[in-house]
Amino acid sequence: MKFFHCMCPPRPGSLSARWRSLVLGILMAVFLPAPAAEPPMGTHADVAYARKLWDALTSVALTGPRARPLKPFFGGAKPHGMILELTHRDLTVGGHSGFLVLKRNYNGPGVSVAKVAADRARFLSSITVMYRREKGYDPENQDLFWVKYRPDGSLFRNPKGLAMAGRILKGPSPGESRGCIYCHASAGGGDYVFYPEIRVPGYTQSE
């Protein structure tokens, strides 16, 4: 008994259909724009974390209507306030304990240390926070989470509509970073803190 291998001819149009699919795929890969890279800040995860952070800050009376007063002093450096209140401490957010630096920023016509001390609510313009998250969050930048709140806890947005929370504003390389990361990276010592009296726990300051 002999066995013959059947060389079945292709069905009409099947080969051309494959070629059409192949050509279409190539054209889409070449001419369609690549998916946009995820922004370094203002993602859904960043916004959700900023809310958790705000709740933690309010629970220890650093934000919210019952925030305890701090000692105001002249700041005068944008994007922060002409008058500042500054504090730092460890803070637990969702089971993670990290180091926090918080600034209350006061601005407005005629603002002064005395006027802020007399009426904080009138001049409070924003609350800016740098908070050290868990290891691996952003190891190139001390794992810091940055956020700019309005006095009511809502988030500021940049001109592109991105919420100002997360890695503000991490670039593809350290030299391309802007915003908080760019500015604080120039603080010296590598700890991203401008005030020498603030010592970041577990951090050995570099020269």
pLDDT tens by residue, 152-184: 999 999 999 999 999 986 867 666 767 788 888
Question: Residue 159 domain-assigned?
Answer: yes
Give the residue among 54, 53, 110, 117 at the shortest CA–CA distance from 84. 117
Question: Residue 206 domain-assigned?
Answer: no
Question: Residue 92 domain-assigned?
Answer: yes
pLDDT higher than 80, residue 126: yes
pTM for this model (two decimals): 0.78
User: For position 3, what pLDDT does the model report?
Assistant: 42
pLDDT higher than 80, residue 102: yes
Domain count, the chain: 1
Domain membership of residue 77 as a residue range: 42-185
Average of pLDDT values for 40-46?
93
Label residues 52-85 b or e (16+ Cβ within 10 Å = b): ebbebbeeeebbeeebeeeebeebeeeebbbbbb
The share of the chain scoring above pLDDT 70, in percent, equals 76
Question: Residue 64 domain-assigned?
Answer: yes
